A and B are shown apart, each in its own frame.
Chain A
Amino acid sequence: MEHGPAKKLVTALEPLIWGPFVTGNFLTPLVFPAVVLVLGIAYPLGWLPADALSYERAYALATNPLAVVGLLAILPLALLAGSHHLRFGIIDLGSAEHDGAVAMLVYGLWQLGAIATAIAILRIFFD
């Protein structure tokens, strides 16, 4: 099979992608379930103290330096792990010949997601 420039570029970058992918692969299930449980289930069902997610408390939590570093690391890593997984999920279901285009799409979306994460965090400080 002849490979186009996109596929060649992705193949060359594969070792660079692999490290952050494995890190995201490890950290995402470590952190996300607890946050989903609190934000997506416990809060709507009224299981939390009344002011647990008040604006003042959420602001204080999100501007904590440890939280800022954590968010800047975990969200882009989770997006990269998700992108890499989806790329290979698509290949596995029979689209290997389109890998170059698929990879450009999923990693391009990952870059947009990582930039959006950084802007969203900066906005908390400068708004």
Chain B
Amino acid sequence: MAIPAHRDAMKPRDRARTRAAAPMMPENWWTKNPRYRAYVAYAWAGAFFWLQALVFIRGLWALGTGEVAWNAFLQALQNPLFVGFHVLSLLVLLWYGARTYFKLFVKTQPPKIGPMPRPPLGVFPPALAAVWLGASAVLVLVLGGIWP
């Protein structure tokens, strides 16, 4: 019967003859490799989650204040700096989504989903692409006043 290993199971039995320096990571470690840069950029995309959510909360607040405040909010959205921010934000969110759905999602699936065996991994990217495109299309059509 397997039992959990002791946490020091891999520790050397004897003290090393020379003292080992504490492991230190160089400050610029993340600049050394494109994978590291993408990993750090993925984490810092969280800043865009925050900024974008704050814009949406501000819009809801204006909507709750009344028609004049809502129109002022819409007017502010037309500032070229705001448009530039939203273009950058859209690019970051699309990159983040593509990385989440098409690269990381398949790597994090357990062999079983509940009692059911996991579908073949190749199924996930096209299924997620369909869900992403479908949800985006519905949101654009509804919010954009095109449908219904």
Chain A interface residues toward B at CB < 8 A? 24-26, 28-45, 48-49, 51-53, 55, 57-59, 61-62, 71, 75, 78-79, 81-86, 88-89, 92-94, 113, 116-117, 120-124, 127
> Shortest Cβ distance from A88 into chain B, in angstroms?
5
Main secondary structure of the interface of A (DSSP, over half): helix
Binds A, one of B9-17, B54-62, B113-121: B54-62
- Cβ contacts under 8 Å, A45 to chain B: 83
Kindly state the separation between the CA atoms of A38 and B140 in the bound complex, as whole angstroms: 6
**Is the CB of B4 closer than 8 A to any CB of chain A?**
no
Q: How many residues of B contact A (CB 8 A)?
A: 58
Question: In the bound complex, do residue A57 and residue B145 qualify as a contact, i.e. CB atoms below 8 Å apart?
Answer: yes
**Nearest Cβ on chain B to A37's Cβ, whole angstroms:** 6
Secondary structure call for the B interface: helix
Q: State A115–B42 Cα separation when bound (angstroms).
A: 26
Interface residues of B in 106-148 (CB under 8 A from A): 131-132, 135-137, 139-140, 142-146
**Are B40 and A33 in contact, with the CB atoms below 8 A?**
no
Judge whether B97 and A92 touch: CB under 8 Å: no
**Do A85 and B71 touch across chains, with their CB atoms under 8 A apart?**
no
